[in-house]
Chains A and B, each alone.
Chain A
Amino acid sequence: MPATFTRHQVETEKRDTGYGGKPPVDRRPTGGGGGDDNWDSRSSRHGGPRELLIRYRLAVLSGLAGDFVFFAVLVSAFFVRPTAGHIDAGANFVSDWHPIAIPPILWINTAILLLSSLTIEVARRQLFHEIDVMEEWLGLGRPAVKRAAPWLLATILLGGLFLAGQWIAWQQLSAQGLYFATNPNSHFFYLVTGAHAFHLLLGLLALVFAMAAIFRLKKVEMRQIALDCTAWFWHAMTLFWIFLFILLVCYQ
């Protein structure tokens, strides 16, 4: 098999030169992809500077898929629980599902969360703005980071505001005498808002981490990854919240 072997080594060399030297932008500055249409050397690795980003996105996506199922399970309780009841001594079917009035502040919270999703998206896009990325990659300055930082800060503030708003909503409910254990509907309300708030708390930590990351990390693509993954997580939480909020408002 020596003949085979020669070809093998040629390809090994070509493969090793493919990564590390390209700026993390979508468009290859050299124009085409080098015209390499050899099927044998096609791979998921060394697919260019986007490869690492795709890998991180996949992991975040897998986690979010699990999260989606987790929330779906909690919501299933919301659909099943109202149908459960018992037969009392007089042979009447008794349902203990009592609708609760949603605190109006939740509307404001929802608006705040939507706004925060918007601000983080603006921040995320700054880090993918091609001219700025090229400038950062060449080491000429940090224009993308400088533009993203205020938006990121705004997201952190809005996220904190949302959590504070949720806290107020819980306070208002408990002022009405509705606690976690009070009735089936309040179980559900506290459970989903609590689980969601816990996720947002993690999201806030991730945001703070991303804020530090875009200033401290040396590689442009790692800065992109830190903010990008946080942003996708945050968007997913906004989406989940809209879903939960519609349930809470419309399906009491």
Chain B
Amino acid sequence: MNAEPAHSAAPSHGFLRRRVFTTEHRALAVLYLLIGLAAVIVGTLLSLVIRIHRVWPTVPFPLYGILRPEDYLAVVTMHGTLMVFFVLTVVPQSAFPNLVLAEQIGTRRMAFPRLNATAFWITLASFLALLAAFFVPQGAPISGWTSYPPFSAIAATGPGQGAGMDCWLASIALFCIAAVASSANFLATIVARRGPGMTFGRLPLTVWSWLTSSALTVIAFSALFGAALMLFADRHFGTSFFIPAGEVINGIARSGGASGSPMLWLHLFWFFGHPEVYISILPGMGLASALLANFTRRPVLGYRFMVIATLMIGFLGLGVWGHHMFVSGMNPYAGTAFGLTTIAIAVPSSAEVLTWLAMLFRGRLRLSTPMLFTLGFISFFISGGLTGPILAQPALDAYLHNTFFVVAHFHLVMAMAGVFSLFAGIYYWYPLLTGRLMNEMLGKAHFWISLIGAYGTFFPMHLAGLAGEPRHYAQLAGPVESFPSLIPVERGITFAALTLAAAQLIFLFNVFRSARHGDRAGENPWRATTHEWSPDLHPITRGEPYVYGPYPGGTKDFLPQWELAAPATSAQPYPSGAKPE
């Protein structure tokens, strides 16, 4: 379990050489997880600031004082950027593949370990550049994680749009480079470093997910890099790709100014932004299939079908970006087209969900913590996903787009489903890193409190959104009559959010305590079939992934990929060991 890969530095090297300045992918996975942990802590604290401010706007924060409206926007911006890039991308698309991808395809080495390590260091630089935005003059940017121009293109539009915005852009550009580099490594690894016998038809579904999401990463983040370059030129070299003519900022008309197109940024950003959603959720979907098979002790239904669905989601995901822009002034015909492609992508997504439900139906469920979090993932994926086709209607979206309904939708389907699959993965793969299991009791408490807290936080937002509560407003005030009636809902959401955040303390305690005091995991604690649990350093793949339940000639209820089925069946008429000539 804890066997060091053959190429890693000799144990005589110091801690830094083995664990930090290393090209060994599992050490890099831990480093990526630490970035994710730092980002999720900061991001969660920021979200609590948002929640508390919405309910008690006049209560001063310790060490800071009363949050001004522009501070609120800065908090929202940094919360979104941290969570989307450094949690929901870094963990499923960088940490997890480094943790198990190579092992799952039957090798112990990435195709390009140095490129992989370089990508990590660039990611770290990107993270630090983003955090630096808090400390530069005028603080963090306020134009949201989407940074729509002209707000983001002109420094005079608000506090934080100067140096803070430059930090944001630098961070994003670095992140793009790192993401493309690490994905190139994953793609080459999956295609060209599979171990003996690991044909494409035997790849675990997680690997298919990473194949798809890595291809999406290469495409999407390159697009974002190009857009960021143009935005940078607009900010510093006097161009006007995105700045429209006749801008009036703080009452002062901007002189000169060619007529650029802010819409262009929207198109480019969402051409990145929507595939990004799939980059963060596809690994979770693959993991859900694998864990459901394991914890129901049934094979994945329709393996081929699941692979095709994954690839289709990736492919269709490139063509739906316009549904983020229905109310942006885009041509309404384009809106209809994007609405249709969006409905189309619901087909493979629903197919996967139905497969999961079919696997649950009459499966022998073992409700251990990873399984619970997988069920939570499916629950959020369904409850958040069902509002997707609603928002995909341009007419309905016109009303709902700038309300909390959208906040509820993407927090359920991307954020909560995303982090629940991250938790599932961490509980499941924890023994690979420590040789110990995480505490089940604490894990279950973490799950149930998180589940209730998450639904308590995000479900009422649907109702608030339907009632017309707008997004991006620091405070509910003004002549609108429905706002006072929303205050109790807001308060309930805030309490639920505090509960949700508090539950994560149980998780942190569990992670650090179990590393020393957890139960010993043994070689294959989950009785799993994929190669990351293989005792062999260079396993030969003998069969398909996810052979659970009765199988021909079987003595156990699972057949690992590194084992052959017992030879005494009709499948192998000749004595074992002898090869037919």
B-contacting residues of A (Cβ < 8 Å)?
1, 3-4, 6-8, 10-12, 15, 39-46, 51, 54-56, 58-59, 62-63, 65-74, 76-77, 80-81, 83-86, 94-96, 180-181, 183-184, 187, 191, 195
Contact = CB atoms under 8 A, between A and B. Distances in A.
A71 B226 CA distance: 7
Contacts of A86: 244-246, 259
A65 B218 contact: yes
Contact of B226 (A58, A69, A184): A69
A70 B230 contact: no
B196 A15 contact: yes
B218 A40 contact: no
A77 B264 contact: yes
B564 interface: yes
B458 to A, nearest CB: 33
Given A59-B184, A62-B183, A73-B268, A40 B115 contact: no
Contacts of B161: none
B222 interface: yes
Contacts of A83: 261
A44 B225 contact: no
A116 to B, nearest CB: 25
Contacts of A45: 107, 192-196
Contacts of A11: 196, 540
B244 A44 contact: no
B478 interface: no
Interface string B261-279: 1011001100100000000
Contacts of B106: 43
Interface of B: 106-107, 111-112, 115, 180-181, 183-185, 187-188, 191-199, 218-219, 221-223, 225-227, 229-230, 233, 237-241, 244-246, 258-261, 263-264, 267-268, 271, 538, 540-542, 563-564, 566-567, 576-577
A59 B112 contact: yes
Contacts of B197: 39-43
Contacts of A71: 226
Nearest to B227: A73
Nearest to A63: B184
A42 B566 CA distance: 21
Given A40-B540, A55-B188, A180-B233, A4 B245 contact: no
A244 B50 CA distance: 46
A4 B115 CA distance: 38
Contacts of A95: 259
Contacts of A183: 258
23 contacts: A4-B567, A6-B577, A8-B564, A12-B538, A40-B542, A41-B197, A43-B194, A44-B194, A54-B192, A55-B188, A65-B218, A65-B222, A70-B223, A72-B226, A73-B226, A73-B271, A74-B226, A74-B229, A80-B261, A80-B267, A81-B261, A81-B264, A191-B230
B222 A181 contact: no
Nearest to A10: B577
Contact of B240 (A15, A46, A69, A187): A187
Nearest to B575: A3
Contacts of A96: 245, 258-259
Which 8 A/B pairs are nearest by Cβ-Cβ distance?
Answer: A73-B226, A181-B238, A66-B222, A62-B184, A43-B196, A84-B261, A69-B222, A3-B576
B134 to A, nearest CB: 30
B348 to A, nearest CB: 23
Contacts of A187: 233, 239-241
A58 B258 CA distance: 42
B233 A76 contact: no
Contacts of A51: 192
B213 to A, nearest CB: 13
Given A41-B197, A58-B191, A69-B218, 14 more contacts: A3-B577, A7-B576, A10-B577, A40-B196, A58-B184, A65-B219, A69-B219, A76-B264, A81-B261, A96-B258, A180-B239, A184-B241, A191-B229, A191-B239
Contacts of B258: 96, 183-184
Contact of A55 (B193, B199, B244): B193
A127 to B, nearest CB: 20
A6 B579 CA distance: 12
A10 to B, nearest CB: 8
A199 to B, nearest CB: 13
Contacts of B221: 66
A139 B241 CA distance: 57
A49 B168 CA distance: 45
Q: In the complex, which of the residues B112, B239, B538 has the most CB atoms of chain A within 10 Å of its own CB atom?
A: B239
B196 A41 contact: yes
B107 A66 contact: no
A181 B218 contact: no
A115 to B, nearest CB: 29
Nearest to A98: B258
Contact of A63 (B180, B191, B233): B180
Contacts of A68: 222
Given A7-B576, A45-B107, A69-B226, A62 B233 contact: no
Given A6-B577, A11-B540, A15-B196, A76 B268 contact: yes
Contacts of A3: 567, 576-577
B540 A12 contact: yes
Nearest to B565: A4
Nearest to B179: A66
B576 A58 contact: no
Given A70-B222, A81-B260, A184-B260, A76 B267 contact: yes
A59 B222 contact: no
A58 B192 contact: yes
A54 B192 CA distance: 7
B260 A4 contact: no
Q: In the complex, which of the residues B181, B218, B237 has the most CB atoms of chain A within 10 Å of its own CB atom?
A: B218
A186 to B, nearest CB: 9
Contacts of B245: 85-86, 94, 96
B341 to A, nearest CB: 18
A1 B566 contact: yes
B203 to A, nearest CB: 11
Contact of B188 (A59, A181, A191): A59
